[in-house]
Amino acid sequence: MTTAWSERFARRTHGMQSSAIREILKVTQQPDVISFAGGLPAPELFPVAEVQAACARVLQERGRQALQYTITEGYPPLRQYIVEKMARYGIPADPDNVLITSGSQQALDLIGKVLVDEGDPVVVEAPTYLGALQAWQPYGPRFIPVPIDNDGMRVDLLEPILKRHRPKLMYALPNFQNPAGTTLSRERRERLVHLASDYGVPLIEDDPYGELRYEGEHLPPLIALDCQKLVAEGKAGSDGLLRGDVIYLSTFSKTLAPGLRLGWIIAPVEVVQKLVQAKQGADLHTSTFAQMVACEVVRGNFLENHVRRIRAFYRQRRDAMLAALEQYCPPGVTWTEPQGGLFLWVRLPEGLDAEVVLRDALAQKVAFVPGRSFYADGSGYNTMRLNFSNAEPDRIVEGVRRLARAIERHLEPVHVAR
Amino acid sequence: MTTAWSERFARRTHGMQSSAIREILKVTQQPDVISFAGGLPAPELFPVAEVQAACARVLQERGRQALQYTITEGYPPLRQYIVEKMARYGIPADPDNVLITSGSQQALDLIGKVLVDEGDPVVVEAPTYLGALQAWQPYGPRFIPVPIDNDGMRVDLLEPILKRHRPKLMYALPNFQNPAGTTLSRERRERLVHLASDYGVPLIEDDPYGELRYEGEHLPPLIALDCQKLVAEGKAGSDGLLRGDVIYLSTFSKTLAPGLRLGWIIAPVEVVQKLVQAKQGADLHTSTFAQMVACEVVRGNFLENHVRRIRAFYRQRRDAMLAALEQYCPPGVTWTEPQGGLFLWVRLPEGLDAEVVLRDALAQKVAFVPGRSFYADGSGYNTMRLNFSNAEPDRIVEGVRRLARAIERHLEPVHVAR
């Protein structure tokens, strides 16, 4: 008997598809393409020499440990480092609140596995991080998109949704959001944390870019506000342990190197314990070696100093892109002005489809990701995400010039009419 | 409103628990405990110097690539290496048939995610690898245990089960099975592959230990037999691509180092493509750096020569354990005599509970894992798994002596009566 494998796949796979980004990235492998499509850090910033020195030290001093299995929770000194790092951002974590993950993509998968039942309503921003939609889709949520504006998620629209749908969780990227580059305002942060607590809805705070702020004032993480609120209300507990409704995620991918695949989760102890059980089944633990090497590289103040360099570097690229958009884009095209991160968001005039523009742009050797992929409901046909971290400033200017031309061609009356 | 997190967890978490092994391992952290509990490779065999040289070369020559994101499928030269390695075992894979995973634990998770719907019957050996039960349990299978004997899975019992339950998949560890150390005979391999094909049931072949054979003749993997069968029947396809009903898993954890977390899946292209989509959501990709370092270490014939050393080393430990069991164990206690791998399996007289023996053994500073954890149905109360790879021969002898004493104490009439 011959059965097609496609007939054997589980129902949860039916919505799975390869990320549109990964498909576009294949085109952008050609060296003459100017790509705004990926979300890749600039490799010229990777601390290669420091990683090499760390590998040598780790293997010389603790080689057997580095190559052996370790505990699922993560390498204890790395968890301790993260505790201290988090404290600087007002997050009162204990090592038992920290789980090391294989990139923060795994954090999203584990959270979906542990919290999302089939049919559960899940509030997401519109647009939101594509990888979260991909991670959670197999667990069968019903996504409820909430629009964003220049100040991030429209928190003012949330309460009726919370009342009506009683979501299983809410998902927010407060800093320099992927894809839109927007930042949630201080007022909205306060309000969002109160709503999560008033309605008892877990809030997932995804913060891969928080350290990459190029201007403006640092805003407190949602989890820090939630902890402050519990203290103010006398509900913080006498053990001093982190509790509350927020689960915080971050990563070393944007500050150290994505190729190590290291992220972390900060959550109440009982959540970490459940996530640990899920992680045991998923990959036993994250690479011992990668954890020990990263821990060796980042300790002391290396990472803080390194991130200062990254900020100066990306800020220049962001500025180049903003200036080029200003110079070349036809009227009717608008974009966000991110205070940090890797991305900005372009909105085309109504009626113009970014996927049509993409075909033309690719012919001109420029790539970007059409915005539709970032909407749980497939809307956003006239939007696009531009990445500015992975090309040199003069290439950015040239790329934007070509892209603006491609847009312009489609704005001629015959195209607008379609 | 305060909601307990435990009330928020998804239904699929209700069966999740921390592995019994990991709990016992906490006790065995004490250096004076002789542990047969883990499944740890001997760290004195890790090729630390070679890994260090590989790190230096990779970072010097391709540091930026090694620290950057890569494709989900895995580092192409490593996939090519695996293709060549598999060919030596009669497995005709193409790079498109290979997916690199974060240990073969992740392979199990992805297979569960892609193939198992809630309520699907899944045939497993009894006992079987605990990590497979843990990986799949969240996807809601109904496990159907099939007993094993000294020749591995009782394939002669399968046909009525296939007829009655139409399982979604079958899971087998043909070589030196974890936990029991048994090996599926050549005849049963042939029969199992035919049954899978006759009933159109996917067969998951988990082979972490296949290269660690200490005596006897190498037996062909199920996937190789399946491919031969298709060729013989003229169903192999003119493109020469691997097809059929078997998905094969293996890992570098037992031959190179588990701390790198590197495994692989060999499967038909359409299965790999679906697994790639699932892996994108799960962790984007496995550590670029770990893949490139492993590739640098294993290439040429390093790994084959290294595995030869491992075999000689573990063989001695296995022999020490078998001799000590023979010398010290009271009558009525039986055990398997594995031809390879890391484990053997002890059966106590009926009525004697291995968990009761464990308490006593721990007091004597000896640890093992009671067999019950390895049974999907919680049976096997009078069995235990002993690992022989992680202790020196004289410690093994001393540990078995103490363990035999603990068993003996419980065989006294007063204990048997309980």
Q: Is A72 within 8 Å of B22 when comparing Cβ atoms? A: yes
| Predicted confidence (pLDDT) per residue in A193-229, tens digit | 999 999 999 999 999 999 999 999 999 999 999 999 9
| Predicted confidence (pLDDT) per residue in A308-363, tens digit | 999 999 999 999 999 999 999 999 999 999 999 999 999 999 999 999 999 999 99
Reduced to 3 states (helix: H, G, I; strand: E, B; else coil), residue B122 is: strand
Do strands A343-347 and A334-335 pair parallel, antiparallel, or not at all (unpaired)? antiparallel
| Predicted confidence (pLDDT) per residue in B327-358, tens digit | 999 999 999 999 999 999 999 999 999 999 99
Q: Which residue has the higher pLDDT, B285 or A20?
A: B285
Q: Whole-prediction pTM value?
A: 0.96
Residue of B nearest to A132 (CA): B281
CB A259 within 8 A of CB B70: yes
**Section A394-414 average pLDDT:** 91
Q: Is A139 within 8 Å of B10 when comparing Cβ atoms? A: yes
- Count the helices and strands in chain A (H runs, E runs): 14, 14
| Predicted confidence (pLDDT) per residue in B397-414, tens digit | 999 999 999 999 998 765
Residue A374 — pLDDT band, cuts 50, 70, 90? very high
- Per-residue model confidence (pLDDT) at position A1: 52
CB A172 within 8 A of CB A192: yes
- Per-residue model confidence (pLDDT) at position A360: 94
Q: Is B40 within 8 Å of A235 when comparing Cβ atoms? A: no
- Per-residue model confidence (pLDDT) at position A416: 47
Residue of B nearest to A137 (CA): B281
Q: Is A102 within 8 Å of B102 when comparing Cβ atoms? A: yes
CB B58 within 8 A of CB A257: no
- Per-residue model confidence (pLDDT) at position B418: 43
- Per-residue model confidence (pLDDT) at position A2: 64
In angstroms, the CA B344 to CA B389 distance is 11
Retrieve residue A259's tokens. 């190729």
In angstroms, the CA A411 to CA A415 distance is 6
Looking at the partner chain, which of A5, A105, A113 has a beta carbon nearest the beta carbon of B284? A105
Residue of B nearest to A45 (CA): B64
The amino acid at residue A268 is: P
C-alpha A400, offset from chain centre: 24
| Predicted confidence (pLDDT) per residue in B100-140, tens digit | 999 999 999 999 999 999 999 999 999 999 999 999 999 99
Q: Is B282 within 8 Å of A105 when comparing Cβ atoms? A: yes
Q: Is B261 within 8 Å of A51 when comparing Cβ atoms? A: no
> Phi and psi for A256 in degrees, rounded to 5?
-115, -75
In angstroms, the CA A41 to CA B67 distance is 10
- How far apart are the CA of B413 and the nearest CA of chain A, in angstroms? 40
Q: Is B281 within 8 Å of A168 when comparing Cβ atoms? A: no
C-alpha A178, offset from chain centre: 6
Q: From chain A, pick out residues whose CB is under 8 angstroms from the CB of B253.
A: 69
Looking at the partner chain, which of A8, A67, A274 has a beta carbon nearest the beta carbon of B115? A8
Average pLDDT, chain B: 94
Residue of B nearest to A272 (CA): B5
CB B64 within 8 A of CB A57: no
For residue A275, pLDDT beyond 60: yes
- How far apart are the CA of A183 and the nearest CA of chain B, in angstroms? 25
> Phi and psi for A153 in degrees, rounded to 5?
-55, 135
**Section A161-187 average pLDDT:** 98
In angstroms, the CA A416 to CA A414 distance is 6
Q: From chain B, pick out residues whose CB is under 8 angstroms from the CB of A199.
A: 1
CB A339 within 8 A of CB A216: yes
For chain B, what percent of residues have pLDDT higher than 70?
Answer: 97
- How far apart are the CA of A264 and the nearest CA of chain B, in angstroms? 13
**Section B310-316 average pLDDT:** 98
DSSP string, B314-348: HHHHHHHHHHHHHHHPPTT-EE---SBSSEEEEEP
**Section B61-68 average pLDDT:** 97
Retrieve residue A294's tokens. 């990263």
Residue of B nearest to A167 (CA): B8
Residue A247 — pLDDT band, cuts 50, 70, 90? very high
Average pLDDT, chain A: 94
Q: From chain A, pick out residues whose CB is under 8 angstroms from the CB of B287.
A: 102, 259-261, 287, 290
- Per-residue model confidence (pLDDT) at position A413: 61
In angstroms, the CA B230 to CA B27 distance is 50
Residue entry with tokens 């003749």: B217
In angstroms, the CA B210 to CA A219 distance is 54
Q: From chain A, pick out residues whose CB is under 8 angstroms from the CB of B71.
A: 22
For residue A415, pLDDT beyond 60: no
Report long-range pairs for B197-200 (Cβ below 8 Å, ≥24 apart).
Answer: B197/A1, B197/B226, B197/B229, B197/B244, B197/B245, B198/A1, B199/A1, B199/B162, B199/B163, B199/B166, B200/A1, B200/A2, B200/A3, B200/B245
- Per-residue model confidence (pLDDT) at position B21: 72
- How far apart are the CA of B409 and the nearest CA of chain A, in angstroms? 34
* Omega before A258 within 30 of 0, i.e. cis: no
The four Cα atoms A48, A51, A53, A58 give a dihedral, to 10 degrees, of -160
- How far apart are the CA of A177 and the nearest CA of chain B, in angstroms? 19
Retrieve residue B266's tokens. 């060999």
**B249-266 as b/e, with b when 16 or more CB fall inside 10 Å?**
bbbbbbbbbbbbbbbbbb
Q: Is B1 within 8 Å of A197 when comparing Cβ atoms? A: yes
For residue B187, pLDDT beyond 80: yes
Q: From chain A, pick out residues whose CB is under 8 angstroms from the CB of B268.
A: 5
**A26-48 as b/e, with b when 16 or more CB fall inside 10 Å?**
eebeeeebbbbbbbbbbbebbbb
Q: Is A103 within 8 Å of B284 when comparing Cβ atoms? A: yes
DSSP B233: T
- Per-residue model confidence (pLDDT) at position A101: 98
Q: Is B280 within 8 Å of A115 when comparing Cβ atoms? A: no
For residue A288, pLDDT beyond 90: yes
Looking at the partner chain, which of A1, A11, A108 has a beta carbon nearest the beta carbon of B198? A1
Q: From chain B, pick out residues whose CB is under 8 angstroms from the CB of A290.
A: 287, 289-290
DSSP string, A93-141: --GGGEEEESHHHHHHHHHHHHHPPTT-EEEEEES--HHHHHHHGGG--
- How far apart are the CA of A324 and the nearest CA of chain B, in angstroms? 27
Least confident of A166-170, A232-236, A406-410: A232-236
- Per-residue model confidence (pLDDT) at position B104: 97
Q: Which residue has the higher pLDDT, B270 or A411?
A: B270
In angstroms, the CA B86 to CA A165 distance is 52
Looking at the partner chain, which of B69, B105, B117 has a beta carbon nearest the beta carbon of A284? B105
Q: From chain A, pick out residues whose CB is under 8 angstroms from the CB of B134.
A: 280-281
Q: Is B261 within 8 Å of A65 when comparing Cβ atoms? A: no
For residue A70, pLDDT beyond 80: yes
Interface with B, mutate which of A194, A254, A287, A291 (most B CBs under 10 A): A287
For residue A20, pLDDT beyond 80: no
**Section A140-151 average pLDDT:** 97
- Per-residue model confidence (pLDDT) at position B416: 47
In angstroms, the CA B315 to CA B388 distance is 9
Among positive and negative, which fits the CA dihedral B152, B22, B41, B94? positive
Looking at the partner chain, which of B67, B261, B271 has a beta carbon nearest the beta carbon of A46? B67
Backbone angle region of A378, left / alpha / beta, with phi > 0 → left and psi within -120 to 50 → alpha: left
Q: Is A59 within 8 Å of B66 when comparing Cβ atoms? A: no
- How far apart are the CA of A90 and the nearest CA of chain B, in angstroms? 22
Retrieve residue A22's tokens. 């990964």
Q: Is B16 within 8 Å of A274 when comparing Cβ atoms? A: yes
Residue A16 — pLDDT band, cuts 50, 70, 90? confident
Reduced to 3 states (helix: H, G, I; strand: E, B; else coil), residue A39 is: coil
